[in-house]
Chain A
Amino acid sequence: MLQPPTLPTDYTVKQGHIKTSTGKTIRTEEMIINMGPQHPSTHGVLRLEIVVDGEIIVDCIPHIGYLHRCFEKHCEHMTNYQQVIPYADRMDYCSAMTNEWAFALAAERLLKIEVPERVEYIRVIMAELQRIASHLIAVGTYGIDSGAFTPFLYTFIDREKILDLFEMTCGARLLYNYIWIGGLSHDLPPKFMEQAKDFIRYFRPRLKMLNDLLSYNEIFVKRTANVGVLPKDVAINYAVSGPQLRGSGVNWDLRRDDPYSIYHKLEWEPQVGKGEMGTVGDCWDRHIVRMHEMEQCLNIIEQALAGLPEGNVKAAIPKRIRPEKDAEIYIRTESSRGELGFYIVSDGTASPFRVKARGPAFVNLSVLPEIAKGGMIADLVLIAGSIDIVLGEVDR
C-alpha cells in the first residue's frame, strides 16, 4: 500500500496543554494543512503548506514548481531569437503582450536596432490594453476569493472587448506572438482606431460600477482593510514591484522612473496606495491601486491613439539576427505584475547562450509568509489573491 509522502519541512508542531476546570488536561497541537496544488483559490498550481493554531496561521511555506516548463533552457535551443517570442508569451499567460515586449526590447538593445515610431506607439497601446485585461482578471478573481461571484462575470465581459481588439489585430485572444524583434507581426487593421475609442468610452462608466459593486462594498472593505499589511521597508527589502509596491506607498513605476519606448512623452500618474480604508499597504490598497491604474491606462491609450504616426511596422525586422559575441544585457519593463526583466547573454550565434527571466510574480510571492503570519486562513486566501500571481511566471 502506498505511504503518503512526508512533508519536507523541518518544522515540529508545537504542542500545548489546556487545563479544564475539572482538573483534566486537554492536549492541543498545531495543525499542518495543505492548501494543495489543486485548490479553487490559489490562482494556479501553488501549494501552500500552512501551520495553523486553530484558525490563526503560525507559518506559511509556499511550494512552487508545479508549472515549471523549462523556459530558460528552451531558449538556448532555439534556432533564432525570434522563436523565443511565443515561449515568452506563455510565461505570464494573463499578460502576454508585456512579456513579448520585454524580450523584444532586450533583443533590440542587444542588436542595436531602432524601431520605427509607429511601432513604439502601437506597442504602448497593446501593452496598456493588456494591462487593463490583466487587472480585470485580478479584480474579478479577487471578488471570487472574497465570496462575491458576480464581479468576475462583469470584468470578463469587459475583457472580451479587449480580446476582440487583439483578435482583430493579430488573430489570437490570449497568446499573441505579435511583438517581434524589430517590429510587429501585423499592422493595425482599419477598424481598430474606431473600436478602441468605443472601448474607452464604454469602459470608464464600467470602472465606476465595478468600484461601487466590489471595492466600496462594506463587507469587502471589512475583509480586506488592515489585512496583510506590507510595510514600505519590508516591500523594498523583498524587492517587490508593481501594484503591490505602489500599494505600500512607494511611488515607483518603471514607466516613469526608468523610461523605455515613448512613455516619457505621455501624461499619466502612477497610482499609490494611501491607506484610505485602513493601513497603507493592506489588501484593499493593492486592490484599489489596480482599479485606479486601469483608469490611467485608458488615458495613456487615448493619448497614444491620438498621436499615432504613419509608418511601416515591419521595416526594421532584421533578416538575420547575429549579435556580437559575449554581449550581455539586462532590460527591465513594467508588466502588469511588476518589474519584468530579461537578461540575455549571447555567444555570437543566432540563438541566445543564456536567457534569464526575472519574473515579478516570483519575487512578489516571496513576501507571502511574512505578511500572512498572524492572520486567519480566510485572510491568507485574500492576501495571496491581492499579490496577483500567475503561476506561469512564478515557475516559468
Chain B
Amino acid sequence: MEFIQTLLANELVVSILLSLLPLIFIIAYALVVLYTEMKVAAHIQDRVAYMRTGWHGLLQPIADMLKLLQKEDIIPDKADKLLFRLAPIIAFVGTYAAYAVLPFSSIYIGSNINLGAFFLVAVGSLVVVGILMAGWASNNKWSLFGGVRSAAQMISYEIPTAIAIIIVVMITGSLNLQDVTKFQDGGIGNWVVFGGPLPWSQKLMLMPFTIITFFILFVSSIAEVNRTPFDLPEAESELVQGFNTEYSGMRFAMFYLSEYANLFTVSAVGVALFLGGWSSPFGTFMSGPVWGIFWFVAKSYVFVLIQIWVRWTLPRLRVDQLMYVSWKVLTPWLFACLLSVGLILVL
C-alpha cells in the first residue's frame, strides 16, 4: 500500500482507489460463481446448462448482467418509495463493508484494525436491515413474510457465529484478522481447526472442539446468507420470491450480487479464522505475498463450492425448525466447546 502512496500524493484518492479493489474483486468473482453455481447445479441434476453463449456458456454471466442492467425499473404503486430504493443499497453495503477487514494477503488488507472480527459481525447485521426494509417497503404480504422471517433467522444465527469467533480469539489471542492469520502461518499443522500452533498435548485435546466449532461456524454462516437449507426468506416454493418478489432489474441484481458476495465473505471468514487464511498449507513452499492471494481465494472458493453443493441436495428447514436448530442445538454445543477450549487453554 505504501508504494501506491508514493505514486499519488493525495491520500484521499489513494484510499478511494484501494477501497475500489474489493468491488472489482466482487464483480469479477460474482460472474465466476454465477457460472459455477449454474453448472454445478446442472451436473448434480444430471443435465448440462449454458452451452450456447460462448464455449460451454462461459459468456452467459455477462449476458445475464447485461440483461439485468437494461430492464425497466418497476416500483409498485403503493410501495414506500424511499425504503424500496434504499433497501438493496443497504443490503449490499453491509456485505461490501466486510471486505475491508478480510486479509487477502500478508501485504494487503483493506483496513488493519484491531477489532477485525468484531467489525465483521457488526457490519453483517446491516444486511438484516436491508432485507427487512425490502420486505416492508414492497407493500406485498408475501414479501413481508419473507422479510420478517429473514430478520428472525439472521439475528438468531449471529449468536453461533459470534461464539465461534470468540473461541478462535481465545486460541489466537487477537481480534485482528491479520494477526490471526499470521498466527497460523507455517503449514497445515498450525491451522486453528487442527488446534493451532500449540504443543502437541494441548493440540490433541483441542482438536475435536475446534473441528466442531468450525463445522458449526460453517452451518450458521450458510444460515446467515439465506442459502438452502436455510433459505426460507426467499423460499421459492412458498413465498414466490420472498422479500425479492417486487424487485426487478438492477435492484434485483443488487440483492443477487450481495448474496453471492456474502457467500464469499462467510467462506473467507471461516478460512481466515480456522484454515490459515493466506498462508500456504505446505509451510514455506508456495508461500509469499502474491501466493497468499491465491491460497486465500482458493480455500474460500472450496467452501463456496460446498455451499452450492449443499444447496442443490438438501430440502429446506421450516422456520421454527430453523430457530430450534440455532437456539437449542448449535448454541449449547458451542457453549460446551467454549468451556472446554477455555479449560484446556488454562490448564
Residues of A within 8 A of B (CB): 31, 33, 39-41, 55, 143-150, 153-154, 157, 213-214, 217, 219-220, 222-223, 376-379, 381
- Determine if B236 is an interface residue (Cβ-Cβ < 8 Å): yes
Kindly provide the distance from the CB of B190 to the nearest chain A CB, expressed in whole angstroms: 35
Q: Which residues of B contact A217 (CB under 8 A)?
A: 314-315
> Closest chain A residue to B77 by CB distance?
A1
Kindly provide the distance from the CB of A381 to the nearest chain B CB, expressed in whole angstroms: 5
12 of the cross-chain contacts (CB-CB < 8 Å) are A33-B142, A147-B228, A147-B229, A147-B315, A147-B316, A148-B316, A153-B47, A219-B314, A222-B318, A223-B315, A223-B321, A378-B235
CA–CA, A55 and B313, complex, Å = 26
Q: Which of B238, B312, B314 contacts A377 (CB 8 A)?
A: B238
Q: Which residues of B contact A213 (CB under 8 A)?
A: 313
- Determine if B201 is an interface residue (Cβ-Cβ < 8 Å): no
Kindly provide the distance from the CB of B294 to the nearest chain A CB, expressed in whole angstroms: 32
Kindly provide the distance from the CB of B41 to the nearest chain A CB, expressed in whole angstroms: 8
Q: Which of A40, A153, A220 contacts B45 (CB 8 A)?
A: A153
Q: Which residues of A contact B231 (CB under 8 A)?
A: 147
B237 touches A145 (CB 8 A): yes
Kindly provide the distance from the CB of A203 to the nearest chain B CB, expressed in whole angstroms: 15
Q: Which of A39, A146, A150, A223 contacts B44 (CB 8 A)?
A: A150
- Determine if B46 is an interface residue (Cβ-Cβ < 8 Å): yes
> Closest chain A residue to B312 by CB distance?
A150
CA–CA, A217 and B316, complex, Å = 11
Q: Which residues of A contact B26 (CB under 8 A)?
A: none
B141 touches A147 (CB 8 A): no
A381 touches B237 (CB 8 A): yes
Kindly provide the distance from the CB of B67 to the nearest chain A CB, expressed in whole angstroms: 21
Q: Which residues of A contact B47 (CB under 8 A)?
A: 153
> Closest chain B residue to A221 by CB distance?
B315
Q: Which of B41, B313, B320 contacts A148 (CB 8 A)?
A: B313
A223 touches B45 (CB 8 A): no
B318 touches A149 (CB 8 A): no
A219 and B229 in contact, given A143-B315, A153-B45, A376-B320 (Cβ under 8 angstroms): yes
Q: Which residues of A contact B141 (CB under 8 A)?
A: 31, 33
Q: Which residues of B contact A222 (CB under 8 A)?
A: 317-318, 321
A377 and B237 in contact, given A148-B313, A149-B45, A223-B315 (Cβ under 8 angstroms): no
- Determine if B145 is an interface residue (Cβ-Cβ < 8 Å): yes
> Closest chain B residue to A222 by CB distance?
B321
CA–CA, A146 and B235, complex, Å = 9
A41 touches B237 (CB 8 A): yes
Q: Which residues of B contact A381 (CB under 8 A)?
A: 237-238
Q: Which residues of B contact A220 (CB under 8 A)?
A: 315
Q: Which residues of A contact B212 (CB under 8 A)?
A: none
A379 touches B318 (CB 8 A): yes
B46 touches A154 (CB 8 A): yes
CA–CA, A219 and B46, complex, Å = 22
A219 touches B240 (CB 8 A): no
CA–CA, A288 and B13, complex, Å = 64
